[in-house]
């Protein structure tokens, strides 16, 4: 977190103009041109984020299209995880945080007064970096979301659990031991369990915070295949440190640095022909 403490306003004093304006045009162009008129699922306009008095995000303007994978990359402490967690208001848990600007989900401001955070989080699921299975059975883990929403009958829960586990490509491995503890699963299986658990609340959006960073290459490949399957039905935003992973799974990539959105564009274009010098330095490994 020490990198966050670097005064971000003074980092590039000579060129303040590129903090805001260029990014949105790129983003808008990227998702409007090749994909036709794909609907914007999440729209962030001039969004800023504060931990107390410390500003962690500045003027983020980013459009995330529906049913696609958007990767957020950048050096540690650049604010990409903070941005991700502000999309389902998980940052609300931390005392003294504040958001300015607009974050719209399906055109509605998620920070508006009348928004119920519980309902928002049901619609915007999240998978964490460290897999967090509940200390319960595999079945109870998946059924947690529906159960807290009031679903009681096993006739509804059982097929739902099966469907979610199948969607997360875990069903064949666990179908005979649904009553076993979820903590007995391997790391990769636990992470797929967490994805299945997030799917069980039937969200529109899935936020993934470095979902494969603690996994071996085989498990990582499985998670990536899974993301590829899920993009047909869900809007996925994924934070990753692994640039090959971003290149493999995402359609759009946004590069964050020191609390700013430096560049956003079609993944292929951003990795082969970045517009900004900073982006180029980062993806070629010269910095970050």
Partner 1 sequence: MSQTPENFSANLAWRHRMGWLFAATCRLATWASVVFLVVILLVIVSRAWPRLTPEFLTHFDSYKPESAGMLAGILGSFWLILFTGAICVPIGVGAAIYLEEYARSNWLTRFIQLNISNLAGVPSIVFGILGFTAFVRMFGVPRTAIVLALGFADVRIPLPFGRSVIAGSLTLALLCLPVVIIASQEALRSVPASLRHAALALGATKWQTISRQVLPAAMPGILTGVILALSRALGETAPLAVLGAAYFITFAPGRINSASDLAQHPDRLLQVPFDQFTAMPLQIYNWVNEQSRDFQQQVSAAGIVVLLVVLVLMNGSAILIRQHFQRKIRW
* Minimum gap (Å) between residue 40 Cβ and partner 1: 23
Task: In whole angstroms, give the CA distance from residue 256 to residue 19.
Answer: 11
Contact between 72 and 80 under an 8 Å Cβ cutoff? The reply is yes
* Residue 150 within binding range of partner 1, rule CB under 8 A: no
CA atoms within 13 A on the CB side of 194: 25
Q: Nearer to partner 1 by C-beta: 196 or 258?
A: 196
Q: Nearer to partner 1 by C-beta: 176 or 218?
A: 176
Q: Nearer to partner 1 by C-beta: 236 or 252?
A: 236
Q: Binders of partner 1 among 105-134, rule CB under 8 A?
A: 118-119, 121-122, 125-126, 128, 130, 132, 134
User: Regarding beta strands 235-239 and 69-73, do their DSSP bridges make them parallel or antiparallel, or are they unpaired?
Assistant: parallel
Sole window of 25-33, 190-198, 234-242, 256-264 interacting with partner 1 (rule: CB under 8 A) = 190-198
Contact between 4 and 56 under an 8 Å Cβ cutoff? The reply is yes
* Residue 88 within binding range of partner 1, rule CB under 8 A: yes
Q: Nearer to partner 1 by C-beta: 129 or 242?
A: 129
* Minimum gap (Å) between residue 121 Cβ and partner 1: 5
Task: In whole angstroms, give the CA distance from residue 168 to residue 128.
Answer: 15
Q: Residues 6 or more apart from 215 whose CB is under 8 A from it? A: 187, 188, 191, 223
Dmax over Cα atoms in the chain, in whole Å?
63
Task: In whole angstroms, give the CA distance from residue 111 to residue 119.
Answer: 13
* Residue 135 within binding range of partner 1, rule CB under 8 A: yes
* Minimum gap (Å) between residue 13 Cβ and partner 1: 37
* Residue 211 within binding range of partner 1, rule CB under 8 A: no
Q: Nearer to partner 1 by C-beta: 16 or 150?
A: 150
Query: Under rule CB under 8 A, how many of the chain's residues touch partner 1?
Result: 27
* Residue 86 within binding range of partner 1, rule CB under 8 A: no
Q: Nearer to partner 1 by C-beta: 64 or 200?
A: 200
* Minimum gap (Å) between residue 59 Cβ and partner 1: 27
* Minimum gap (Å) between residue 14 Cβ and partner 1: 40
Using CB under 8 A as the criterion, which residues of the chain lie in contact with partner 1 when the complex forms? 88, 90, 93, 95, 118-119, 121-122, 125-126, 128, 130, 132, 134-137, 144-145, 148-149, 181, 183, 194, 197-198, 201
């Amino acid at each position: 977190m020490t990198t966050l403490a670097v005064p971000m306003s003074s980092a590039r004093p000579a060129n303040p103009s590129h903090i805001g304006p260029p990014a949105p045009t790129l983003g808008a162009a990227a998702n409007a041109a090749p994909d036709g008129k794909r609907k914007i699922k999440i729209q962030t306009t001039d969004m800023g984020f504060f931990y107390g008095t410390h500003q962690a995000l500045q003027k983020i303007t980013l459009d995330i299209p529906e049913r696609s994978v958007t990767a957020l990359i950048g050096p540690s402490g650049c604010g990409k995880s903070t941005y991700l967690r502000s999309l389902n208001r998980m940052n609300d848990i931390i005392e003294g945080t504040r958001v300015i600007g607009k974050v719209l989900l399906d055109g509605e401001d998620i920070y508006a007064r009348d928004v119920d955070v519980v309902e928002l989080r049901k619609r915007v699921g999240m998978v964490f970096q460290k897999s967090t299975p509940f200390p319960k059975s595999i079945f109870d883990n998946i059924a947690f979301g529906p159960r807290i929403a009031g679903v009681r009958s096993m006739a509804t829960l059982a097929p739902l659990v099966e469907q979610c586990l199948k969607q997360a490509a875990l069903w064949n491995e666990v179908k005979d031991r649904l009553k076993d503890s979820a903590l007995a699963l391997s790391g990769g299986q636990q992470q797929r369990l967490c994805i299945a658990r997030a799917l069980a609340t039937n969200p529109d959006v899935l936020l993934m915070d470095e979902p494969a960073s603690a996994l071996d290459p085989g498990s990582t490949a499985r998670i990536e295949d899974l993301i590829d399957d899920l993009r047909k039905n869900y809007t996925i935003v994924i934070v990753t440190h692994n640039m090959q992973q971003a290149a493999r799974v995402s359609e759009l990539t946004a590069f964050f640095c020191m609390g700013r959105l430096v560049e956003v564009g079609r993944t292929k274009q951003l990795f082969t022909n970045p517009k900004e010098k900073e982006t180029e330095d980062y993806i070629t490994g010269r910095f970050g």
